[in-house]
Amino acid sequence: MKIKQNSSVEIRYRLLDQDGELIESTDDDGPLRYRHGSDDLLPALEEALTGASAGDELRVTLTPEDAFGPHNPEGIVIIPRQELPDDVYSPGDWVAIGVESDEGEREGEDDEDEGEELEMRILEVREDAVVMDANHPLAGQSVTFEVVVVSVED
């Protein structure tokens, strides 16, 4: 059976950065199950898997635009220390920062739901501010997925 819209699919994969370094894999947790066409995977990867069958092996290289997007310089922000909790911050750490939604209050939303949390990586810790990056760590990079299709079901 070939992968098509709404197929239930199991895959094993390895994600490699542009230098060929392993970033993520299903080796430890077992295959990933997803429904084809439900936006569970990057669209370009899902497109490459369309028509594949159980046992097929694919090597798919995605451009930054098809993977995690281009690096956005506006994603680098400087946050004054007084706006942050008194935690200890170190470069490389990931922190969740509350951001206000640009949209007005929607019908049925609680006041508590007006914002969202954004994961940001700390680039630099200064005495008066912390420099953070909201870009995905692989933004601006081509990535390669090595995929083995384990099973395909209707």
Q: Strands 143-153 and 94-100, how do they pair?
A: unpaired
Gap between the Cα atoms of 52 and 104, Å rounded: 44
| Tens-digit pLDDT string for the chain (154 aa) | 999 999 999 999 999 999 999 999 999 999 999 999 999 999 999 999 999 999 999 999 999 999 999 999 999 999 998 888 888 889 999 988 877 655 544 444 454 555 688 889 999 999 999 999 999 999 999 999 999 999 999 9
pTM beyond 0.85: the answer is no
Structural domains present in the chain: 8-69+138-153 (3.10.50.40), 73-133 (no CATH)
- CA-to-CA separations, 9 to 1, 38, 45, 54, 150, in angstroms, rounded: 11, 11, 13, 9, 8
Phi, psi of 15 (to 5 degrees): -105, 125
Q: How many CA atoms lie within 13 Å of 96's alpha carbon, on the beta-carbon side?
A: 3
Quote the DSSP letter at residue 45: H
Which three-class secondary structure state does DSSP give residue 100? Answer: strand
Q: How many CA atoms lie within 13 Å of 113's alpha carbon, on the beta-carbon side?
A: 6
Gap between the Cα atoms of 117 and 99, Å rounded: 6
